[in-house]
Amino acid sequence: MNKKHVMYTAVSSVLLSSSLLLHSIDADAAESAKVTATSLNVRATPSTSGAVVGKITKGNTVNIVDESKGWAKITYNGKEAWISSQYINKTQTTSTPTANSTSKSAVVNASSLN
Protein backbone atom coordinates (compact mmCIF):
# COMPACT_ATOMS: atom_id res chain seq x y z
CA MET A 1 0.00 0.00 0.00
CA ASN A 2 1.19 3.50 -0.69
CA LYS A 3 1.17 6.26 1.96
CA LYS A 4 -1.77 8.07 0.37
CA HIS A 5 -3.96 4.95 0.54
CA VAL A 6 -2.96 4.27 4.16
CA MET A 7 -3.79 7.87 5.14
CA TYR A 8 -7.14 7.70 3.32
CA THR A 9 -8.02 4.46 5.14
CA ALA A 10 -7.02 5.90 8.53
CA VAL A 11 -9.02 9.11 8.03
CA SER A 12 -12.04 7.15 6.80
CA SER A 13 -11.89 4.91 9.86
CA VAL A 14 -11.73 7.90 12.23
CA LEU A 15 -14.67 9.60 10.52
CA LEU A 16 -16.74 6.41 10.59
CA SER A 17 -15.92 5.85 14.26
CA SER A 18 -16.84 9.45 15.10
CA SER A 19 -20.10 9.13 13.21
CA LEU A 20 -21.01 5.95 15.07
CA LEU A 21 -20.10 7.56 18.40
CA LEU A 22 -22.30 10.58 17.72
CA HIS A 23 -25.19 8.32 16.71
CA SER A 24 -24.78 6.34 19.92
CA ILE A 25 -24.78 9.51 22.04
CA ASP A 26 -27.93 10.76 20.30
CA ALA A 27 -29.74 7.45 20.80
CA ASP A 28 -28.88 7.29 24.49
CA ALA A 29 -29.47 10.93 25.29
CA ALA A 30 -31.98 11.57 28.03
CA GLU A 31 -34.70 14.18 27.60
CA SER A 32 -35.54 16.51 30.48
CA ALA A 33 -39.07 16.97 31.78
CA LYS A 34 -40.66 18.97 34.58
CA VAL A 35 -43.12 17.36 36.98
CA THR A 36 -46.55 19.02 36.84
CA ALA A 37 -48.33 16.92 39.49
CA THR A 38 -48.33 18.04 43.13
CA SER A 39 -46.85 14.66 44.10
CA LEU A 40 -45.95 12.14 41.39
CA ASN A 41 -45.60 8.45 42.28
CA VAL A 42 -42.38 6.79 41.11
CA ARG A 43 -43.08 3.12 40.38
CA ALA A 44 -40.99 -0.02 39.96
CA THR A 45 -42.92 -1.02 36.83
CA PRO A 46 -44.84 0.98 34.18
CA SER A 47 -48.28 0.32 35.67
CA THR A 48 -50.59 1.87 38.26
CA SER A 49 -50.36 -1.47 40.05
CA GLY A 50 -46.55 -1.25 40.18
CA ALA A 51 -44.97 -0.80 43.62
CA VAL A 52 -44.45 2.85 44.60
CA VAL A 53 -40.72 3.35 45.23
CA GLY A 54 -40.85 7.10 45.84
CA LYS A 55 -42.45 10.43 45.01
CA ILE A 56 -41.35 13.50 43.07
CA THR A 57 -42.94 16.87 43.79
CA LYS A 58 -44.18 19.52 41.38
CA GLY A 59 -41.52 21.62 39.66
CA ASN A 60 -38.71 19.07 39.95
CA THR A 61 -36.90 18.06 36.76
CA VAL A 62 -36.41 14.43 35.71
CA ASN A 63 -34.39 12.88 32.88
CA ILE A 64 -36.47 10.61 30.67
CA VAL A 65 -34.51 7.58 29.49
CA ASP A 66 -37.32 5.96 27.50
CA GLU A 67 -41.09 6.16 27.03
CA SER A 68 -43.67 3.46 26.45
CA LYS A 69 -47.48 3.46 26.47
CA GLY A 70 -47.93 6.58 28.59
CA TRP A 71 -45.04 5.83 30.97
CA ALA A 72 -41.61 7.45 31.18
CA LYS A 73 -38.58 5.48 32.35
CA ILE A 74 -36.27 7.41 34.68
CA THR A 75 -33.37 6.61 36.99
CA TYR A 76 -34.46 7.07 40.60
CA ASN A 77 -32.01 6.50 43.46
CA GLY A 78 -29.71 4.69 41.03
CA LYS A 79 -32.39 2.28 39.81
CA GLU A 80 -34.72 2.06 36.83
CA ALA A 81 -38.15 3.43 37.69
CA TRP A 82 -41.30 4.68 35.95
CA ILE A 83 -43.54 7.74 36.14
CA SER A 84 -46.74 8.55 34.28
CA SER A 85 -46.04 10.71 31.20
CA GLN A 86 -49.37 12.45 31.83
CA TYR A 87 -47.85 14.47 34.70
CA ILE A 88 -44.70 15.83 33.04
CA ASN A 89 -43.86 18.57 30.55
CA LYS A 90 -40.89 17.82 28.34
CA THR A 91 -38.27 20.50 27.89
CA GLN A 92 -35.59 20.82 25.25
CA THR A 93 -32.10 22.24 25.76
CA THR A 94 -31.41 24.85 23.10
CA SER A 95 -28.29 26.78 22.28
CA THR A 96 -28.15 30.55 21.97
CA PRO A 97 -28.99 32.49 19.84
CA THR A 98 -31.05 30.14 17.63
CA ALA A 99 -34.00 28.62 19.48
CA ASN A 100 -34.40 25.92 16.81
CA SER A 101 -31.00 24.29 17.29
CA THR A 102 -30.13 21.74 19.95
CA SER A 103 -26.80 21.26 21.67
CA LYS A 104 -24.98 17.91 21.75
CA SER A 105 -21.46 16.99 22.72
CA ALA A 106 -19.17 14.08 21.96
CA VAL A 107 -15.69 12.83 22.74
CA VAL A 108 -13.33 12.22 19.83
CA ASN A 109 -10.99 9.28 20.41
CA ALA A 110 -8.57 10.21 17.63
CA SER A 111 -5.16 11.86 17.99
CA SER A 112 -6.04 14.12 15.07
CA LEU A 113 -9.34 14.87 13.35
CA ASN A 114 -10.13 17.23 10.45
The answer to whether the bond into 46 is cis (omega within 30° of 0) is: no
Letter string b/e over residues 71-110, b meaning 16 or more CB atoms within 10 A of that residue's CB: bbbbebeeeebbbbbebbeeeeeeeeeeeeeeeeeeeeee
* H/E element, 17: helix 3-28
Query: What pLDDT, on a 0 to 100 scale, did the predictor assign at position 45?
Result: 96
Domain 3-90 belongs to what topology? SH3 type barrels. (2.30.30)
E strand map for the chain: 31-35, 39-43, 52-57, 61-64, 66-68, 71-76, 79-84, 88-90
Share of the chain above pLDDT 70, in %: 54
Name the pLDDT band for 99 (thresholds 50, 70, 90).
Answer: low
Indicate the pTM of the whole model. 0.57
- What are the pLDDT digits (tens) for 31-62? 899 999 999 999 999 999 999 999 999 999 99
Domain boundaries, the chain: 3-90
